[in-house]
Structure 1
Amino acid sequence: MARIESKVRSLVSADPEMRTAVRTVLERSEAGEVKWVDVKGDLTSGQWGRLIEKGVLVDGDEGFRLADAEATRAGLEEETEDATASTASSSSADDIETGDSSWSTYDKMAGVVTVGLFLGYSWKPLRDVIGSTMDVALGPLHDILPFYAVVMVLALATGLYSTLLQANLMDMDKMGAYQQRMKDIQERQKQAKENGNDEELERIQQEQMEAMGDQLGMFKEQFRPMVWIMFLTIPVFLWMYWAIGVGGGSEAHVTLQNLVLPLAGEVAWTESILGPIQAWIVWYFLCSMGFTQVIRKSLNIDMSPSAA
């Protein structure tokens, strides 16, 4: 059985109303691609999200298209008992495969490099190399601005690209579909318990176990932009380590004046403020959190998952 056909059978067997939803999408996509606005009167957002989540619908030029129209039609045909068993046994693998598809070779390479960059926090020679290299670009900025303002500029830059990376690399529709599926399972499980339907409850519990693959896919969707954010941000942090002279045997490479923080007052850059957390880290995160909120509001970027 083709993979798309298996996925369609799985959707239809889990929710009979999905048969009508799939037929509607088939009809609307005959002329080419289909968009949510074309079907939102006939499909729920949860049904639309499930079709995207399972890979029945894939990205097109302007909307979505069927991954395999013939296999989708075949999946709507009445299935035999053997086909039902095959569908049940393959659903978990299909979920995990969908989650794996979003990571490219470049994502994995960035992840490997990021792990290597972490060594700079504890290994001074690597920190010095990265710090002196970054100083070629950031040194002139410090020549015209005081260091506290340089940190503000860095916080603004990291907040900007972090927001853009999350908005472009994290598939919020897929995230919403994962959450919608779990919500649907929980609602049907509650209804089955209220009705005392042990057979339905057992089937839902099995589906819940298979949905663990969705949790893996959801984690990968969340972590993918974080790899690139750390890939770009760790060198910035290592330059601040190098410039301020953080770590045993290190010395400052820039002229530093005391920093004035809310509530804490005037403090040295390496003075501990919140437990072991030093003043410069507190200042960076205060700036970063403030700028990030302003950027998201200004660009109207919503990071809340949506199944629509």
Structure 2
Amino acid sequence: MARIEERVRDLASDPEMREAVEVVLARAEDGEVKWTDVRDDISSGQWGRLIERGILEDGESGFALADRDAIEAGLRDPDADTTGDATTETAGTSDDDEEEDSSWSLYDKGAAAVTVLFFIGYSYGPVRSVVGQAMDVVLGPLQAALPLYAVIMIIATVTGLYSTLLRANLMDMEKMSEYQEQMQELQERQKAAKERGDDDELDRIQEEQMSAMGDQLGMFKEQFRPMVWIMMLTIPAFLWMYWGMGFRGGAGAWSGLQDIVLPLVGQVTWSDNVLVMPAWIIWYFLCSMAFTQIIQKGLNIQMSPSSS
């Protein structure tokens, strides 16, 4: 119930709401409390806000505390458990910093740097040639043994597999779900505050939305982290195909390639433009999307955060 503790701590920043929470805690018998038990001590607006934030839930005869331990923990001063010495405070700060930086490791940053170097190959011929020739050592025998459409299907399948596994293992879906839940909660509170004309609450919500922009940046970092590794592994295969087909001034090492028949388009050569992109890129994306969906279903891996 970490969310309950966080919400209570947010409410407790307002002295009046802190007092309201304490009153509800004191009056709750067997974990439940009725409006008639507290109406002389707290306002209807405070009561409604406790229900709106999920501190109080529907009970058998009234409203039940969502989690007494979490509520009491939210009322406590987060610094109360410290011994007061600078060592403890420094340790806590270090843990926070470590948690903040832990999402991108040194390896992640190294992968990002390598990816940037590979990106240069799209516009700089010498880099494209070096990468293409290096990849040809691995993929060349495959291209010599199979038609190009089959080679691209295999590449699309492999990229779909490691893309799925990297996203599943490098993205913290639980954290992203918390981000989404937080933003959804703010939107619901904002809508409710507008309906009842509570300008003070709207101001508080706006401040929370400004603070939540840091969380949105954290969500973006979580989403982009696996993309760095995916691009680092995928771009060399693309540069190899650029090099082999002579695209953008590549070496054009492959000759006598058979035409391909694309859905809704018909027979085209690999270098023909289809929807402003070469046919071989269109074929790769079609294969990649199809095989990625099959892999995700087969491995039962969810690629989007689910709100609880």
- TM > 0.5: yes
Corresponding residue to 1:12 among 8, 20, 25: 8
Q: Using CA pairs below 8 Å that are at least 6 residues apart, which structure has the higher relative contact order? A: 1
Q: CA deviation at 1:195?
A: 2.1
Which whole-Å CA distance do the structure 2 matches of 1:220 and 1:287 have between them?
Answer: 28
Q: Which structure: larger Rg? A: 2
Other structure's SS at 2:267 match:
strand
Residue-pair matches, total: 239
Residue type matched to 1:292 in 2?
T
1:273-294 deviation digits (Å, cap 9, x = unpaired): 112x111111111111110111
Q: Cα deviation per residue 1:156-200 (whole Å; 9 max; x = unaligned)?
A: 000111111111111111111001001111111222222222222
Q: Which runs of no fewer than 5 residues in structure 1 stay unpaired?
A: 1-6, 21-45, 48-71, 81-93
Is residue 234 of structure 1 aligned with residue 235 of structure 2? yes
1:1-308 pair list within 5 angstroms? 11-15=7-11, 76-77=75-76, 100-248=101-249, 250-253=251-254, 255-275=256-276, 277-308=277-308
Structure 2 residue aligned with 1:41: none
TM-score (norm 1): 0.70
Distance in 1 (alpha carbons) for counterparts of 2:275 and 2:158:
25
Q: In the TM superposition, what is the alpha-carbon distance from 1:247 to its structure 2 partner?
A: 1.2
Deviates more, 1:224-233 or 1:266-275: 266-275
**Contact kept? 2:242, 2:250, Cα under 8 Å:** no
Check the 8 A contact 1:177/1:307 in 2, yes or no.
yes
Deviation at 1:232, TM superposition (A): 0.3
How far is the alpha carbon of 1:130 from its aligned partner? 0.5
Q: Give the secondary-structure state (helix, strand or coil) at the position aligned to 2:76.
A: coil
RMSD value over aligned CA atoms?
3.2
Partner amino acid for 2:273?
S
- Kept in 1, the 8 Å contact 2:143–2:151? The answer is yes
CA distance in 2, matches of 1:272, 1:225: 30
Larger mean Cα displacement after TM superposition, 186-195 or 170-179: 186-195
Following the alignment from structure 1 to structure 2, what is the Cα–Cα distance between the partners of residues 138 and 296?
Answer: 25
Shift of 1:248: 2.6
**Does the CA contact (< 8 Å) of 2:9 and 2:75 recur in 1?**
no
Residues 255, 184 of structure 1: alpha-carbon distance in 2 compared, 3 angstrom cutoff = same
- Are 1:170 and 1:222, in contact at CA under 8 Å, matched by a contact in 2? yes
Q: Cα gap change, 1:153/1:262 in structure 2, threshold over 3 Å: closer, same or farther?
A: same
CA distance in structure 2 between the aligned counterparts of 1:79 and 1:298, rounded to whole angstroms: 45
| Cα deviation digits, residues 201-245 of structure 1 (max 9, x gap) | 211111111111011001001100100000000001001111111
Structure 1 letter corresponding to 2:138: A
- Helix, strand or coil at the partner of 1:121: coil
- Structure 2: 5+ residue runs without aligned partners? 23-52, 55-70, 80-94
Q: Is 1:174–1:307's contact at 8 Å kept on the other side of the alignment?
A: no
TM-score by length of 2: 0.70
Q: Is the deviation greater in 282-291 or in 184-193?
A: 184-193
**One-letter code aligned to 2:184:** K
